[in-house]
Structure 1
Amino acid sequence: MQSLSVCVYCGARPGADPAYMAAATALGTALAGAGMRLVYGAGDVGIMGAVARAAQAAGGATFGVIPTHLMRLEVGKRDLSTFVVTETMHERKKVMFMNADAVAVLPGGAGSLDEFFEVLTWRQLGLHDKPIYLLDIAGYWQPLVALIDHVIAQGFAEPSLRGFVETVPDVPALMARLQDAAGPA
């Protein structure tokens, strides 16, 4: 299997359900165990910090990207394999995406939604063909999936939009899809 770099979009907060942090920890551990590099927002708080600490603890490669204005707020995690500081959020998102082969979206807030919709829009426009996965821990993304279906039903997107994102229920299902995406060595 080839080694993948997986861009993980997720919350800078832990969220209300402990299952979110548990899934982040499980994902970081699983990515490292599969020899996949974590690409993420370089913070050491919330779900973001949990996924990185778990990947590091399991010996995985970590590639973090953070804009200067979030260094203090998100507690920039300087002990990563690669630590990149950008001037703007736009640069952060570009560097993260350009250094990844696939995207996984864990529970998160407005920032995670912004990142998700940007890569989904780019996929819709044919600017990339990287797989995008919603990690639907405890049904977190079901309202988003319903919204995407509503957008299609109301004629604001082609049905193909739904095919550009895959919803997976848990970390083992996500890892199976990522292993499929990586293909043979």
Structure 2
Amino acid sequence: MKKICVFTGAASGINPLYKDAAYQMGQMIGSRGLGLVYGGGKMGLMGAVADGVLAANGRVTGIIPQFLDNVEVGHKGVTDLHIIDSMHERKAMMYDISDAFVIFPGGLGTLDETMEIITWRQLGLHNKPIIIVNLNGYWDSMLIMFQNIIEQGFMHHGHAGHFHQVDDLDGLMDKLDQLFQSDHLQA
């Protein structure tokens, strides 16, 4: 089973569109026979995507540091919940067991995970697909920042190819289907 790691927020945000879309994305992932890897929380968008996968009878692997288990409330209903020691261990485990990465709306933690996984791809530490879901224009500023980094000569134009950008869930599922058909994610 291919595992999709979703980076997203432990909060729901002010627009209910995000939570609804997170749940729907989870249902789409689960119904395609894909597994979910995520930050292990029950709250916010994290919890919504996990609940969506579970509602579609999919497998969910949550990874949460002990100190966050009380804050983000570890999701005890997932298939596998790993309670680990540190954020570094969390990210390393998420990266190791995932076949592709989806960036969904979130806060600083999501931004941190996004920058690290794109940087690792740029450095050649992995060749796994990264898909930014720019739902409702949420990541517009980040995408503009990436273009500015290229224009200022701190990143090569080719490095923008280290990630894909889609605007909605249909685009995400089309991209995942396309990637699973290609050499990127062959078993």
TM-score range, shorter chain: over 0.9
Contact preservation (8 Å) 1:9, 1:103: yes
Find runs of 4+ consecutive structure 1 residues off by over 2 angstroms.
none
- Match for residue 149 of structure 1? 147
Q: Secondary structure at the match of 2:101?
A: strand
The match for 2:26 is 28
| Residue identity opposite 1:34 in structure 2 | R
Match of 2:181 in 1: 183
Gaps of 5+ in 2: none
Equivalent in 89, 92, 95 of residue 93 of structure 2: 95
In structure 2, how many angstroms separate the alpha carbons of the residues matched to 1:155 and 1:17? 36
The answer as to 2:107 corresponding to 1:116 is no
CA RMSD across the alignment: 1.1
Partner of 2:103: 105
The equivalent of 2:7 in structure 1 is 9
Ranked by relative contact order (alpha carbons within 8 Å, sequence separation 6 or more), the top structure is 1
SS at match of 1:115: helix
Cα deviation code 1:132-154 (max 9, x no counterpart): 01111101011100000001101
Name the CA distance, whole Å, in 2 between partners of 1:170 and 1:24.
11
The CA deviation at 1:7 is 0.2
Partner of 1:170: 168
CA contact (8 A) 1:104 1:135 kept: yes
Helix, strand or coil for the counterpart of 2:77?
coil
1:132 pairs with one of 130, 133, 138:
130
- Cα offset, 1:175, TM superposition: 0.9
Q: Does 1:84 align with 2:53?
A: no
Give the residue type in structure 2 aligned to 1:146: I
Paired with 1:139 and 1:17, the residues of 2 have a C-alpha distance of 12
Instruction: Note if contact 1:19-1:137 (Cα within 8 Å) is conserved in structure 2.
Output: no
Equivalent residue, structure 2, for 1:160: 158
Q: Secondary structure at the match of 1:157?
A: coil
SS at match of 2:73: coil
Structure-1 separation of matches of 2:70 and 2:55:
23
**Percent identity over the alignment?**
39
Letter in 2 for 1:133: I
Count residues in correspondence: 183
